Amino acid sequence: MTSIRSIALGAVSVLALSATSALADGEVNIYSYRQPELIQPLMDAFTKETGIKTNVLFLDKGLVERITAEGANSPADVILTVDIARLTEAKDGGVTQPLNDEDINKQIPAQYRDTDGNWFGLTTRGRVLYASKDRVSEDAITYEELADPKWKGRICMRDGQHSYNIGLFASMVAHHGAEYTEKWLAGLKQNLVKKPDGNDRAQAKAIYAGECDLGLANTYYLGLMQTNEKEPEEKEWAKSVKVLFPNAADRGTHVNISGMALAKNSPNKDNAVKLMEFLASDEAQTIYAEQVFEYPVGPNAKASEIVAGFGAIKPDTLPLTDIAANRKVASELVDKVGLNEGPTQ
């Protein structure tokens, strides 16, 4: 019997897992927010090492809702996702279960795992500044400085309500409080060259075009642009910028994570735990980090040559759970100051 079948979810082609396949021996079912081609080398390595077959269901949205609707008969064993917000969403949505595993806990630093064991980080990406090599002489910066009038008309960014930016703003709330962050956001707004728009790559494009000098972006997009053979113009965007790691001299740069969780009703729990232990290993983290141009969280896993080329990152040691707890306040402040309206005259 075929264990997986192709279906369409909106415009996204995914693999649907039948209840029959979920109970088969020697298999593990992964529900993933991460693109299948990015995690396939990991799945191949796991199968080669253990003989356990992996079935991947890719969703671009609605993962928690789907698992909830499937209920006790859900075939999901392991959840893979790309953001602390989605990991906490899965926990708060009741679709994960706690796991206290000595091997995983040894590999994943405490700041990158849930205190209750409901999720674990695997790789990190910094929320950094892309800076024009030609027009920005500074080699160091802080997030706080982004509200300094010296940057007026020189900063560009994507939607202030995007999850990546909300995470950064939530970290500012955690460090400085809501009152300070509101004033800081108002200052950042006035330093924007235009209304927030585009994605992180678009900020590099804008710097290349001379529209702005600084752009908020995630580190891994630089790797994606540097290696984009289908759209070689992105390589030129990447060449025009350098990476500034904010607050490297003090508390460290804000990071987000990709991570994993054990599904609440995992029908193949033993295999799920084996996969999670494998994903936490130095070998797997090295493979994963190289595929997605992120920094591994394991103490002995190595960043790829491309990622190392971005520069050394000193992550903010603030627990990600503290950041997640301030996301709602951060979102409200973005609206309160009208960040997405752009600078006022």
Binding annotation: 220-221
- Looking at the structure, do residues 325 and 302 belong to the same domain, yes or no? no
Let me know if residue 166 belongs to a domain: yes
The domain tally of the chain equals 2
What domain range includes position 82? Answer: 25-122+255-308
**Where does residue 303 rank: exposed (0-12), middle (13-18), buried (19+ CB within 10 A)?**
buried
Q: Per mean pLDDT, which range of 159-163, 247-251, 289-293 is the poorest? A: 289-293
Q: Return mean pLDDT, the chain.
A: 91
Mean pLDDT across the stretch 222-233?
95
| Percentage of residues in the chain having pLDDT higher than 90 | 82
**Do residue 129 and residue 118 come from a single domain?**
no
pTM listed for this prediction: 0.86
Q: Which residues sit in the known binding site for Fe cation?
A: 220-221
pLDDT for the residue numbered 25: 55
Residue 19 belongs to a domain? no
Identify the pLDDT of residue 327. Answer: 94
Q: Is residue 232 part of a domain?
A: yes
Are 325 and 245 in a shared domain?
yes
333 and 187 share one domain:
yes
In a domain, 8, yes or no: no
**Whether residues 150 and 197 fall in one domain:** yes
pLDDT of residue 111: 87
Q: Are residue 158 and residue 263 in the same domain, yes or no? A: no
Reduced to 3 states (helix: H, G, I; strand: E, B; else coil), residue 84 is: helix
Decide if 92 is inside a domain.
Answer: yes
Q: Is the pLDDT of residue 39 over 50?
A: yes
Q: What is the pLDDT of residues 40-82, one digit of tens each?
A: 999 999 999 999 999 999 998 999 999 999 999 999 999 999 8
Q: Is residue 195 domain-shared with residue 88, that is, in the same domain?
A: no
Q: Domain holding 334: CATH number?
A: 3.40.190.10
219 and 190, same structural domain? yes
Q: Do 220 and 170 sit in the same domain of this protein? A: yes
Same domain, 168 and 131: yes
Looking at per-residue pLDDT, the higher value among 11 and 165 belongs to 165
Q: Are residues 227 and 273 in the same domain?
A: no
Is the same domain home to 148 and 76?
no
- At residue 36, the pLDDT reads 85
Q: What is the mean pLDDT of residues 139-161?
A: 98
Q: What is the mean pLDDT of residues 258-268?
A: 97
The model's confidence at residue 120, banded by pLDDT at 50, 70 and 90, is: very high
